[in-house]
Amino acid sequence: MALIPLAALGDRASLAGLSRNLGLVLIGNLLGALFVAYVLAVKTGVVTKPVDLARLGEIATTKALTETDLQVFLRAIGCNWLVCLAVWMALGAEDIAGNVLAIVFPITAFVAMGFDHVVANMFFLPAAIFAGVPGIGWGDVLGNWALAFSGNLVGAGIFVGGFYWYLYARSEPEPARPGDAPPASEAAVAAPDREHAPVG
Amino acid sequence: MLAIIVSAGMDPEIWGGMITLASVAVFSLGLVLVLVAGSEL
């Protein structure tokens, strides 16, 4: 959500390509999350023991019912800002250890603060429904996903992709400093082509 | 899923912020694996 908007801002990716990428990534993540929630979490009985179910219900109820729409949207902005910061820093790492160090701290911050990530919620909320947590319906889930996705997109596309494009990737001619060589066009005027210059 | 398992059954009155710490530790581990493996998120 940060890297492709960054490429689009730099005219290296089209809006259609950006939409296609986001759509495919979301669908892939949704299918994976539903598979893990239904098959690996609920059908295997991993989260259906009373204590696990109570914890899952606590998390899912907070995300789907307790938080207001505005809270979900704002938490999603903060969340993907941190997640994309982790990705951005990991891009600068030269080895696996650097990658891990770059990722751990922003992710720790976003989870500790209870921020909302649409892909994480694609697991928590359906898992709660599949496990029979009362009070949560698919309408609540879809509403949460829509708000979380919008907030994540703003957090990644504007606060990471947009800002870093503005700071580092925007193409702008540098202002001339005293003592710099003149631009090529001015140099050509100052020193005409001797080969084609009129003789005599 | 790991975050649920490790933090389930921890009484907030006894464990306090340790519940969050336990959840955070394994959630970060999961996301590190996702990103290091090169998956899209």
User: In CATH, what number is assigned to the domain containing residue A141?
Assistant: 1.20.1080.10
* Residue position matching structure tokens 């979380």: A148
Q: What residues of A are in contact with residue B35 (Cβ under 8 Å)?
A: 86-87, 90, 99, 103
* Total domains present in chain A: 1
Looking at residue A188, its pLDDT comes to 53
Question: Does residue A188 lie in a domain region?
Answer: no
Compare CB distances from B1 to A36, A54, A111 and report the shortest one's residue.
A36
| Residue A21 confidence class, pLDDT cut points 50, 70, 90 | very high
A175 is written with which tokens? 């202002």
State which residue of chain A sits closest to B20, comparing Cα positions: A112
**How many whole angstroms separate alpha carbon B19 and alpha carbon A172?**
49
In this predicted model, which residue has the larger pLDDT, A198 or A110? A110
| Full domain range(s) for residue A119 | 3-170
Does any domain span residue A193? no
Give domain status of residue A150, yes or no: yes
| pLDDT (tens digit per residue) in A31-41 | 999 999 999 99
Q: What is the mean pLDDT of residues A59-63?
A: 94
Query: Chain B residue closest to A60 (CA)?
Result: B4
Average pLDDT of chain A is: 89
Compare A80 and A192 and report the one with higher pLDDT.
A80
Q: Do A40 and B9 touch (CB under 8 A)?
A: no
The span from the CA of B2 to the CA of A52, in Å, is 10
* Collapsed DSSP state (helix, strand, coil) of residue A191: coil
State residue B38's pLDDT score: 81
* pLDDT per position as a tens digit, A77-122: 999 999 999 999 998 999 999 999 999 999 999 999 999 999 999 9
H runs (alpha helix) in A62-117:
69-91, 96-112
Higher-confidence residue: A14 or A189? A14
pTM: 0.82
Q: What is the average per-residue pLDDT within A142-152?
A: 97
Task: Evaluate if residue A200 carries a pLDDT over 50.
Answer: no
